[in-house]
Amino acid sequence: MKIRFLLALVGLAIGFALPTFAQQKEATPSESTPAATPTPTPTLGDAYTQVLPDRRVTFRLLAPKANAVEVVIGIKDQIYGPGVTTAEMTKDANGLWTVTLGPLEPNLYEYRFSLDGVSITDRGNGMPKPQREIETSLLLVPGTPPDFLDVQNGAHGTIRDETYYSATLGKNRNVFVYTPPNYERSRASLPVLYLYHGFGDTRYDWVTEGRLAPILDNLLGQGKAVPMIVVVPEGHALPFETMPVTHPGEFWPNLNDYWAKNQATADEELFHDIIPFIQAHYNISDDSRERAIAGFSMGGLQSVETGIVHLGYFSWIGAFSPVPLGSATSDEFKNALKDTNKINENLCLFEIVTGDNDSMTGPAVQQFENQLRALNIQHVYTVVPGTHSWFVWRPALANFLQKIFKK
């Protein structure tokens, strides 16, 4: 399977300093003394991971007491499929472990170090993957010309980190809100997209690893999307870590139970707390055709169930590799799914995207799609090369953004 990797580099924002060298004075050799070879002056960047101009990457980790260090690029887990690269690193006299790999195709990668069998982030990289258990770093590899993941020249939107009180949960919570360029100067009401992340992730995922702002900025600059507000809630309304085990020794049944309970609470919080907050603080449209909901993995489940249960409020649904839409869904959703005419009349777009090698949710997504076809529910089903990963979800978001709010 080949996945075309897309470029994304934002200067030094992730802490990958390119090497700098002190300017050397030219020595004038005498007839009897051979010319000395200039030696680059060491810099602090020489001890950290570097993306080289030819798209090779030198990974570095200072660990003098370690016995063995590897770099692992990709997710080393069977549920995410193939595509993992593991390379042994070499230790020098100062305890600095290094290996140079590539060239890598332009894209945003996940990687980690395995230090004597223990997975750790790259402490010289200022861009860790924003998951609940942080053990992975993100690597942006440059490419030319700029692609949809790059921060490009032109106008840029703003990501706001808002705090609201959740009466549903009885505590303060946070939500990210993207506003398009020149939002403060315009009085026009804008359409709104509610965008949910996956299980084990945080609201930072769509902003950091999902590249929400650069993707939408670039589409707006190219006239491929309409100006909109995007709301990124914290998808974990309930903490998974404290949920009781209802099926000892079983994996999926416990997750299905959690997803069902979390979805019910997240849905309640969305309508009782988040939407009222957004309506009070942002100039959004009251037209149902200018409201959309989307998400990946667990967020795909949330977008489908909330969108179908609340028909007439949302007109656009995007589900990217949604988790099983069977035992994790509510009776209310299952009943709503039977009203084919109401769904087809209220939805402008119901889009499902999955990877062709997604062994985690792919089979369940196919079953759900078969159910939609049997019920004659209008939808768009797209299978793309990839696994249960961001190589599927970032392009899926970019395509979804180009379709919504245009009918």
From residue 128, alpha-carbon distances to 14, 20, 50 in Å are: 9, 24, 15
Query: Is CATH 3.40.50.1820 correct for 158-403?
Result: yes
Q: Are strands 57-62 and 69-73 parallel, antiparallel or unpaired?
A: unpaired
CA distance 293 to 7: 27
Cis peptide bond prior to 322, omega within 30° of 0: no
Neighbours of 294 (CB within 10 A): 30
Do the Cβ atoms of 325 and 318 come closer than 8 Å?
no
Give the pLDDT score at 140.
Answer: 83
pLDDT for res 371 = 95
Classify burial at 45, counting beta carbons within 10 Å of its beta carbon; exposed 0-12, middle 13-18, buried 19 or more. Answer: middle
pTM of the model: 0.79
Instruction: Check: CB of residue 227 under 8 Å from CB of residue 220.
Output: yes
**What is residue 33's predicted lDDT score, i.e. its pLDDT?**
42
Distance between CA atoms of 303 and 172, rounded to whole angstroms? Answer: 23
pLDDT of res. 276: 98
For residues 136-151, b (16+ Cβ closer than 10 Å) or e, as one string? bbbbbbbbeebbbbbb
Domains 44-140 and 158-403 share a fold: no
Cβ neighbours of residue 178 under 8 Å, at least 6 residues apart?
157, 158, 159, 160, 212, 213, 216, 229, 230, 231, 232
The string of pLDDT tens digits covering residues 124-150 is: 787 888 887 788 888 888 678 888 888
3-state secondary structure of 296: strand
Pairing of strands 90-91, 137-140: unpaired
Backbone dihedral angles phi then psi of residue 166, each to the nearest 5 degrees = -95, 105
pLDDT of 29: 34
pLDDT of the chain along its 407 residues, tens only? 333 333 333 332 333 332 322 233 333 333 444 445 566 666 656 778 988 989 899 999 989 999 999 999 885 443 344 467 899 999 999 899 999 998 988 888 989 999 999 999 998 787 888 887 788 888 888 678 888 888 888 999 999 999 999 999 999 999 999 999 999 898 899 999 999 999 989 999 999 999 999 999 999 999 999 999 999 999 999 988 777 777 777 777 778 888 999 999 999 999 999 999 999 999 999 999 999 999 999 999 999 999 999 999 999 999 999 998 877 789 999 999 999 999 999 999 999 999 999 988 999 999 999 999 999 999 999 999 999 999 999 999 999 999 999 97
How far is the C-alpha of 120 from the C-alpha of 137, rounded, in Å?
9
- Residue 111 buriedness (CB in 10 A; 0-12 / 13-18 / 19+): buried
Q: Where are the domains of the chain?
A: 44-140, 158-403
**Cα–Cα distance measured from residue 178 to residue 160, given in angstroms and rounded to the nearest whole number:** 6
Q: Tokens 């100062």 map to which residue?
A: 94
Question: What is the structure's pLDDT at 139?
Answer: 86
| Domain made up of 44-140: CATH architecture | Sandwich (2.60)
DSSP label at residue 273: I
